[in-house]
Each structure stands twice: as structure tokens, then as C-alpha cells.
Amino acid sequence: MRSSSSSSPSLAPSHPRLLPLFSLVLANALTVAAQQPTRHGVANTFEIVGNSGVSAQQMFLGRPGKIYILDKTENNPVQVNGHPAWAVEYDVETNQIRPLDVVTNSFCAGGGVAGDGTWLNLGGNQAVTWGGNTADSQTGGSAPYMDADGGKSIRFLTPCDDQTCNWVDDPTRYMTTRRWYPTLEGLPDGSLFILGGNKWGGFVNDADQNNPTYEFYPSQGEPVGLNILATTLPANLFPFTFLLPSGNIFIQTNWGAEVFDYKNNVEYPFPNIPHAVRTYPASAGNMMLPLTPDNNYQATMLFCGGSDLEPDQWVQDWAIAAYPADSTCVSITPDVSQTWSDDDSIFQGRSMGNMIGLPDLKVLLVNGANTGVAGYGNVSWAIGHSYADNPLRTPLMYDPTAPAGSRWTSNGMPESTVNRMYHSGALLLPDGSVFIAGSNPNPDYIVGTGVTYPWEDRTERFYPWYYDKHRPEPQGLPSKLTYGGPYFNVTLSATDLENSAANIKNTKAVVIRTGFSTHAFNMGQRVLQLRTTYTVAEDGNSAVLHVSQLPSNANIFQPGPAMLFITVNGVPSIAQWITVGSGAIETQPLLADSQLPDSYIPAAQDNSTTGGNTPNAAVHGASGVGAGALVFFAHRAL
Ligand SMILES: *[C@@H]1O[C@H](CO)[C@@H](O)[C@H](O)[C@H]1NC(C)=O
Ligand SMILES: *[C@@H]1O[C@H](CO)[C@@H](O)[C@H](O)[C@H]1NC(C)=O
Ligand SMILES: *[C@@H]1O[C@H](CO)[C@@H](O)[C@H](O)[C@H]1NC(C)=O
Ligand SMILES: [Cu+2]
């Protein structure tokens, strides 16, 4: 245990520009991660931090300091191997890029991470030339882009810190069928479920080119039909999928919804989603809300915004860009009930709002537009080419635990100066800021005066309310988490606890996978609060947080890389980069749920008014949900 004097005042130089160098030296000397943010950011502001060189149509955090960005094949100014690049590795600290050669056209590809830490980028379009027109050569022989057909591609990347890793595009390992706009969902053994898409692209899907099937990575053979994808035309591209704690997959696409038992290939239809289409091109914000001990790790999905177009309205020639986006939010807890619930609405209609789970267990809704939808085309009513207009540059914040009627707020939210509409994205970073990039509602690299919504490569950070607070510096964070198994101890100093030991009662351990961000949603995003108890030292100068492993159910948080934050009153530590599960694609070992010691705080240290404790007695007792009290709603009557 450390005394409070050893951690305060900070040893770091006060000038923020010196911090990266200092941290590097510290990291090399002591092999510890940075303990305070290296970037000086002001809470509740946006900051433009760099350029991505390609437009960030798709992106993910592959290492703590490395973002991998993919674009469609287009005339980006950055070159690789003698042609424009459409992928880069982006360094979070330096904001410098390393162009990567993706070879095939990754236009509107899907992505996800397997349990062994390998990232997949999957599907896409034919080889194209200028303007997105089909190239003569589909095998990489047509100037200026020299791209090859990406329809069946699986592109592999093992992220790295040393600038040596590259995308591997190996035709012997392709998918069985063409998929443009597919979705990937992680499975409990670290494999991936791949579904949907169409063969040749377009604004929306149609029966002639639909791919209403699923398959797996690693391959389990031929694709299998999925009825919901045949019955939800045309707005069923990039279907929304969520692996549920029960082991089934919740699927939402166009107006349809179901629970899918992929192990037995049985579909259980659910009522239609109310009020609006949420999938692309309506592109509602959506995510699984944080899984917590308080909600017994039940999965509730929230969908906000989108557009209420009926199937025939997508294929008519009318002024969609001026049509108001939807402002409703609905939620569902499919392992418990088939009933959709109305949730608080988002004040203004928004399509292409991207939801990002934050370590304080709130949800940021950022990017998007007030009218129109995703997509672009050369039509009279488009704004340039954009099918959306009236960009929304002010984010909103959602608190899942607030009373109905008060969950959304725009209080304190800044306005960005950059329009982020079609083909933009957002990712949580280890320092708790949100990285935002992209937007290009155009068929190619189109910039210049008179272009209302140009190709955009400025990268930006959003700094949430906690960003410039002193961060807790917990000691003893593990580099992996298991499903059940022995708990671990994390030590916090008096400084970490804001000089009040009672703040240990509002200290949480939060695991986040920020996912693969594209088309206004993050595939595979998941936020989970671990069970914790605590022991406070008699002098109040330090405390130990006893942290459970993950629940003993790999459906609750799939294997693979993730971030572990310790938050004190919502203020997060710098995340520890961890491996969830065994690190391999295999049936995961499930151990008994962690048994936590009872919580203890000496009476003299407990000045909290929230714990309901008498000031005269030491307090014992577990504050979290006890081991064995977990309730899994595995199989309700369907
Ligand atoms: C858009 O359509 C107009 C009219 O058909 C045509 O003249 C123009 O070349 C098209 N632009 C692009 C970028 O395809
Ligand atoms: C955790 O800390 C407590 C004291 O607070 C100690 O009794 C226990 O042995 C520790 N457990 C582990 C796994 O380190
Ligand atoms: C507890 O005491 C500390 C130190 O005096 C103070 O900063 C904190 O606000 C107090 N907390 C409560 C809930 O009274
Ligand atoms: Cu797209």
C-alpha cells in the first residue's frame, strides 16, 4: 500500500507539452502506463488534433495508442505503394499516420475482433476507378487506384506498437459469398458471427442482390439462410446484432426484430421496432447499455433517432435530405421481455448519431444530422451528393440510471466546428476522451469551395466532464480477466480517493470494448461494471478495492482485447489494456464466480452520507451483488 504522501503532489512537470516525453521515460524506466492524460484537454470541449490522411469511414482502437482507420477506395492524398491509400495506422500520441495497403476495396466493410486479438475487416465492393465507377480490372490492374474486388474479402490485422503490422488480404481465406455492408458479432468462444449485406451495393438493398445468410469466422462451411434478412428489405444492410447473456443473438433490422438461437438455427420473431427505422440508411444511434451488478447483467439495447421511412419511400426520387430525422428512443431487454419501451427522446431528430459508452457508465451521442439519412448520390435534391443536411455538431449525454424524463442532457455540451455525417465514426480512448473522425458523403475525394459537405480528414477529440480532473492512479491492475475465478486487489491512495476514504463507496471497475466504428454504430461495443467490495485502512490514507473477475458466462462479455478503468465518483483512471478470456479462439474456461470479502470502512473514515451507515460503528458488509446472486435469464418461454 502507498501512503497519500507518496502520490501527491504529482511528480510530473506541470507544462502539458512536456508530459508525453516524461511519460515515455517513465514508461521505459518503470514499465507502467501513463497515469495522467498526456494530452492537455479542457473538459466539455472539442479539439481538432490532426489529420487522418484518408477519410475515417471505419475505425477501431487496436492498441492503447493505435487507431486503425479504413476508407473506401478513393483519391486520398496519402499514397501507398504508388497509389492512393485507403487505410492508415493513426498514432494517438503523435497524431501521425502510417499508410497501410489494404489491396481490395473495403467500401462499407464490417469489422470485429476475434478472441485471439486478430481484427477482421470484412466484405466491400468491386474494384473502382474515379467517382466510384466500376474499374475495368477487378484484380488490381486499373489505374489510378489499382484496387481489387473486395466483395468476399476477409482482411486480417494483428495490431502492433512497432509500426510493422499490415493488413493481410489472402484470397484463400475469403468468405463464401459477397457481402457489402455486413455485420460481425463476437461469440463466446472468440469466433465471429457474420451476417447480411448485399452483393453489388447501392443506397438500399433489394431482393435481386440480397445476401440473407450468415456464416462464421473461422469458417464452418457454406452460408445458412436467415429469414429476417429476407423479410426486412430494403433497409436491412448493416443489421444490428447483440449477443445476449442467454447466448442468443438479438437482431434488429429495418422495422423487424428477433431473437436468434444460432446454435440451433431457430428464429424467434419479436414485435417491430416502434416509431422509426434504425438501421442504415436511417442510421439511429444504438448500443447495449452498460451491464452492471445493479441490473443483474441483463442486456438492454437503446435505439435513438433514425428515420420513419416506409419500404417504398427509400426507392422513390424525392427530397429525402430535407426530411426530418426521428427523435424517439426505444429500448428492449430481450432476455426478459418482448416488449419495446419508449425511452426519453433526444430533443431533436438525429440520424447518424453515434453512441459511445464512457467509463462513468454514461452514453455519449455524437455526430449526425437533423434531416435526411445516410448515403449519397448524384440526384437533384442532394446537398452536393449528401442525402443528409443540417448537421448536428452538439453531442448529448445519456444517464441510464437517471429517472425517466431526465436521462438525456445537453448541459455543458460544446459545439464542434466540424460536420460529421455519412462515413464518420467515434471511439473511446484509454484516457477517457472520445476520438472522432471522418465524414465524406461523396463518391470520391471531393473538396473545395462550393462543396457544402466535403471529404473530411480532420481528427478531433471530445473531452468529457472528467477529462481535466486529477485521475485516480490505481495500483495492481491485471493484464487479463477470466470468466469467474479469484478476485484481485487494486490499491487506491488518499489522493486517488479525493482525500475522502468514503469515496471508495463510489469507486467502480469498468470494462469497455469500444468496438468497430462505422456507419454511426460500433459493432461489438460493450460496457460492463465488475462487482467490487473494499477495505479501507484504519488511517484512511489508502484503500483496497476487491474486484471480481467477469461473470462466469462468456456471452456477457466476449473474449478479446478490452480496456479496464477504475473510476472514483465517475472520474476514470487511464485504462489498463487487458485480454478478456484465454487469448485464443476456443471454448472459454468458466470458473466459479469470484467470492469477494465483505466491505470494511473504519467509522472514523466514513463521513459519507450516501451509505446509510451510522458514524459510530465500523461498517461491514458487501455493497455489490453477492456471488451466487447473479441471475441469468437464460431461457424464458419463447
Ligand atoms: C451527375 O449527373 C449529371 C447529370 O446527369 C452529370 O452531368 C454529372 O457528370 C454527374 N456527376 C457525377 C460526379 O457523376
Ligand atoms: C486483498 O486485500 C486484503 C486486505 O484488504 C487481503 O486480506 C487479501 O488477502 C488480499 N487478497 C489478494 C488476492 O491479494
Ligand atoms: C468527507 O471528508 C472529506 C475531507 O474532509 C471532505 O473532502 C468530503 O467532502 C467529506 N465527504 C462528505 C460526504 O461529507
Ligand atoms: Cu457506407
* Position 292 in a domain: no
Going by C-alpha positions, the residue among 560, 567, 549 that lies closest to residue 359 is 567
Q: Which atom of ligand 1 is nearest to the CA of 378?
A: 1
Give the pLDDT score at 34.
Answer: 56
* Position 554 in a domain: yes
Strands 480-481 and 576-580: parallel
Distance 568 CA to ligand 3 centre (A): 14
Question: pLDDT at residue 627 above 80?
Answer: no
Query: Measured on CA atoms in the order 155, 158, 160, 162, is the torsion positive or negative?
Result: negative
Distance 519 CA to ligand 4 centre (A): 6
Whole-number Å distance between alpha carbons of 356 and 521: 9
Distance 535 CA to ligand 2 centre (A): 9
Going by C-alpha positions, the residue among 82, 137, 55, 106 that lies closest to residue 421 is 55
| Average pLDDT for 402-423 | 98
Give the pLDDT score at 636.
Answer: 34
Q: Distance of CA 548 to CAs 60, 482, 593, Å?
A: 27, 9, 8
Whole-number Å distance between alpha carbons of 511 and 467: 18
Whole-number Å distance between alpha carbons of 33 and 14: 18
Going by C-alpha positions, the residue among 263, 386, 387, 334 that lies closest to residue 634 is 334
Q: Which of 32-41, 491-500, 621-630 has the lowest mean pLDDT?
A: 621-630
* Position 567 in a domain: yes
- Longest Cα–Cα distance in the chain: 82
Q: Is 131 near ligand 1, meaning CB less than 6 Å away?
A: yes
pLDDT in tens, 529-544: 999 999 999 999 999 9
Number of domains in the chain: 1
pLDDT in tens, 531-579: 999 999 999 999 999 999 999 999 999 999 999 999 999 999 999 999 9
Residue with cell 437533423: 370
Q: What percent of the chain shows pLDDT beyond 70?
A: 90
Whole-number Å distance between alpha carbons of 98 and 70: 12
Question: pLDDT at residue 9 above 90?
Answer: no
Give the pLDDT score at 607.
Answer: 78
Give the pLDDT score at 20.
Answer: 42
Whole-number Å distance between alpha carbons of 258 and 254: 12
**Terminal CA-CA length for the chain:** 51
Nearest ligand for residue 502 CA: 3
Q: Distance of CA 423 to CAs 62, 386, 397, 403, Å?
A: 20, 11, 22, 34
Distance 541 CA to ligand 2 centre (A): 17
* Position 539 in a domain: yes
DSSP string, 566-616: EEETTEEPPPEEEEESSSSSSPPPB-PPP-PPPEEE-GGG---SSS---TT
* Position 575 in a domain: yes
Q: Is 171 near ligand 1, meaning CB less than 6 Å away?
A: no
Q: What angle do CA 440, 445, 449 make, to 5 degrees?
A: 85
**Residues within a 6 A CB radius of ligand 3:** 499-500, 502, 607-609
pLDDT in tens, 353-363: 999 999 999 99
What CATH number is attached to the domain comprising 521? 2.60.40.10
pLDDT in tens, 203-222: 999 999 999 999 999 999 99
Pocket test for ligand 3, best of 500, 539, 541, 610 (most atoms within 8 A of CB): 500
Pocket test for ligand 1, best of 74, 376, 378, 455 (most atoms within 8 A of CB): 378
Q: Is 133 near ligand 1, meaning CB less than 6 Å away?
A: no
* Position 457 in a domain: no
Question: pLDDT at residue 17 above 60?
Answer: no
Q: If you take atom 10 of ligand 1, which residue's CA is the nearest one?
A: 378
Q: What are phi and psi of 608, to 5 degrees?
A: -75, 145
Q: Is 489 near ligand 2, meaning CB less than 6 Å away?
A: yes
Whole-number Å distance between alpha carbons of 352 and 486: 42
Q: Is 378 near ligand 1, meaning CB less than 6 Å away?
A: yes
Query: Measured on CA atoms in the order 22, 26, 31, 33, is the torsion positive or negative?
Result: negative
The mean pLDDT of the chain is: 92
Whole-number Å distance between alpha carbons of 553 and 630: 11
Whole-number Å distance between alpha carbons of 525 and 516: 7
Q: Is 535 near ligand 2, meaning CB less than 6 Å away?
A: yes
Phi-psi region of 381 (alpha: psi -120 to 50; beta: other; left: phi over 0): alpha
pLDDT in tens, 140-172: 999 999 999 999 999 999 999 999 999 999 999
Q: Which helix (H) or strand (E) holds 21?
A: helix 19-30
464-490 b/e with 16+ CB inside 10 Å = b? bbbbebebbbbbebeeebbbbbebbeb
* Position 599 in a domain: yes
* Position 217 in a domain: no
Which residue range(s) make up the domain with 495?
25-37+470-636
Nearest ligand for residue 504 CA: 3
Q: What band does 608 get if pLDDT is binned at 50, 70 and 90?
A: low
